[in-house]
Amino acid sequence: MEHFDMALVDWSRAQFALTAMYHWIFVPLTLGLSFIVAIMMTIYVRTGNELWKKITKFWMTLFGVNFAIGVATGIILEFEFGTNWSNYSWFVGDIFGAPLAIEGIMAFFLESTFIAILFFGWGRVSKKFHMISAWMVALGSNLSALWILVANAWMQNPVGMRFNPDTARNEMVNFWEVLFSPTAINKFLHTISSGYVLSAIFVVGVSAWFLLKHRNVEFAKKSMIIAAVFGLLSSFYLVLTGDESARDIYHTQPMKFAAFEGLDDGNVSAPLVVIGFLKEVPDPRQPDVDRFAFKIEIPNLLSYMVALNSNVFVPGINDLINGNEKHGIMSYYEKIDKGKLAIKALGDYKDALERKDQVAAAENLKVFEANYAYFGYGYYDDPNDLVPNVPVAFYSFHIMVILGVHFMILFIVILVLLYKKKIEKTRWVLYVALWTIPLAYIASQAGWILAEMGRQPWVVQDLMPTLSAVSNIDKSSVVVTFWIFAVTFTVLLIAEIKIMVSQIVSGSKNEGGH
């Protein structure tokens, strides 16, 4: 491996992860609450019931607080691509920049225009136009997510581009292939549906607090009905999109798939681990070492999930490192050799151009293009450095799935109790709903930890490792800004929580009634 300042790499990763995780605290609630508010406003416009107006204004205020802080953290996140990840920005800027630019021009302006009407249009515009503005804010919020997730999906599965050896940059050749790649579609749908579930949990939990305090009972019940139905439908969709996402990862990022399943050795009719506990991570070079201290698994289910065929072979970590000739899997050792060949050929190509040796340039370009798919592997010597942190991937995946099941059950129970008019009497369910709010955020963060940690060491899958993507800057500047951001974001989060809690408490006294 070439010499890299790994301390700089680690601090740059830590700073980006810090910003992304704080940003993702605010975004999911924005995605779902915007639609919940639009639904509530639509009911108000259609019924003329003043209680629905009060309900809409209450949740709209909470949406606004969350939206404002989410924008602030998102802007900082985009700046970090230029400050901390300039090599990455150079390598993929022609592709990665396009969806970010569209997000800024199309979605952000759409949100900004209509969010002003949403908040200040009461009594100033017609009810129907006001209702339309609510739906446009929801659409704009989700369009913002679309373009960000398209960019992220391209990093996970780079398509629709070609590498220009003269400029050492990837160039987009098919925008529609980038936009509509299966990875982009699955990532977008799964991410926004997870945001919808989190938002529904938030509304249900806050409404449960109202009921526990015997305040605004009708207000709380109506809010809870909308949120529980919205959340349950979103939960079913979340399962479908999650299944499709896992299937896509199996094909495009098999190492990530093996890591979050804790699968060291591949199997035909591979079982699915439902619950498991890992012991100290074994040396992956030692064969026949069981990674699990305890596990409950369902036979054949993993193979069936990835291909709807229980007899399909699912490769494990060792199969990907060492190769599996029987199942046509190239080893990481061979990919490393091809990557080094591609790196050398690119250098020789540039040297030949400087010497104006067109024949040598053409020969080296041919070698480079034949091996470019493995370019990033050439930065490594040990294949084990290409394995992500298996415990992090495994636990984040299973926490996300287990909590997702809990959310679905909770929505069903809430709706049944509302239907039977027993929700106020079943106080333990209300307490569970209230304390499920932080669990929703844990599940949401776990999903992104899996997505980003599971693909390490790649910043662009197979083409660019994280260690080669950082800016050539002094580590101390990254360390200082890390702590500045950590303090700033924490203060913003505390401020948001205090404002939200204050609004909820004051709203419980002023909005609606018994």
Question: How do residues 468-490 score in pLDDT, each as one tens digit?
Answer: 888 888 889 899 999 999 999 99
Residue 420 phi/psi, 5-degree rounding, is -85, 0
Angle at 131 between CA 127 and CA 135, to 5 degrees: 170
Quote the CA–CA distance of 233 and 29 in Å, as a whole number.
Answer: 17
Q: Which residues is 169 bridged to in the sheet? A: 164
Quote the CA–CA distance of 262 and 228 in Å, as a whole number.
Answer: 34
Whether the pLDDT of residue 112 is over 80: the answer is no
Mean residue pLDDT of the chain comes to: 89
Res 92: pLDDT = 83
Res 319: pLDDT = 92
Sign of torsion, CA 54 59 60 64? Answer: positive
Sign of torsion, CA 61 64 66 68? Answer: negative
Q: Which residues is 458 bridged to in the sheet? A: 465
- Asked if residue 208 lies in contact with residue 430, where contact means CB atoms within 8 angstroms, the answer is yes
Whether the pLDDT of residue 282 is over 60: the answer is no
Within 13 Å of residue 414, how many CA atoms lie on the same side as its CB?
33
Angle at 111 between CA 106 and CA 115, to 5 degrees: 155
pLDDT band at 284 (very low <50, low <70, confident <90, very high): low
Whether the pLDDT of residue 215 is over 50: the answer is yes
Would you list the DSSP string of 362-405?
Answer: HHHHHHHHHHGGGGGGGG-S-GGGGS--HHHHHHHHHHHHHHHH
pTM of this prediction? 0.91
Question: How do residues 288-315 score in pLDDT, each as one tens digit?
Answer: 567 888 888 888 888 888 888 888 899 9
Res 425: pLDDT = 86
Whether the pLDDT of residue 47 is over 90: the answer is yes
pLDDT band at 109 (very low <50, low <70, confident <90, very high): confident
- Asked if residue 227 lies in contact with residue 198, where contact means CB atoms within 8 angstroms, the answer is no
Res 186: pLDDT = 93
Whether the pLDDT of residue 181 is over 90: the answer is yes
Quote the CA–CA distance of 316 and 288 in Å, as a whole number.
Answer: 12
Quote the CA–CA distance of 447 and 400 in Å, as a whole number.
Answer: 6
Q: Say what percent of the chain tops pLDDT 90.
A: 54
Q: Dig out the tokens for 159 from the structure.
A: 């398509």
% helix / strand / coil in the chain, to the nearest 5? 75, 5, 20
- C-alpha distances out from residue 272 to 257, 285, 300, 302, Å: 12, 23, 7, 5
Own/partner long-range contacts of 426-434 (Cβ < 8 Å, ≥24 apart): 427/212, 429/208, 430/208, 430/209, 430/211, 430/212, 431/208, 431/212, 433/201, 433/204, 433/205, 433/207, 433/208, 434/205, 434/208, 434/209, 434/212
Whether the pLDDT of residue 63 is over 80: the answer is yes
Whether the pLDDT of residue 467 is over 60: the answer is yes
Within 13 Å of residue 269, how many CA atoms lie on the same side as its CB?
3
Nearest to 264 by CA among 317, 331, 320, 303: 317
Nearest to 57 by CA among 228, 223, 234: 223
β-strands 267-268, 313-314 pairing: antiparallel
- Asked if residue 216 lies in contact with residue 511, where contact means CB atoms within 8 angstroms, the answer is yes
Stretch 188-193: mean pLDDT: 94
Res 513: pLDDT = 42
Question: Looking at per-residue confidence, does 332 or 509 come out higher?
Answer: 332
Question: How do residues 75-106 score in pLDDT, each as one tens digit?
Answer: 787 778 778 888 888 888 778 777 877 777 76
Q: Dig out the tokens for 242 from the structure.
A: 């999650």
Q: Say what percent of the chain tops pLDDT 70.
A: 96
Stretch 251-263: mean pLDDT: 92
Instruction: Give SS3 for 271.
Output: coil
Place of tokens 């339309």: 132
- The 3 state secondary structure assigned to 26-47 is HHHHHHHHHHHHHHHHHHHHHH
Q: Dig out the tokens for 400 from the structure.
A: 């996300």
- Asked if residue 48 lies in contact with residue 214, where contact means CB atoms within 8 angstroms, the answer is no
Res 218: pLDDT = 92
Whether the pLDDT of residue 442 is over 90: the answer is yes
Lowest model confidence (mean pLDDT) among 70-79, 228-237, 263-272, 505-514: 505-514
Res 52: pLDDT = 93
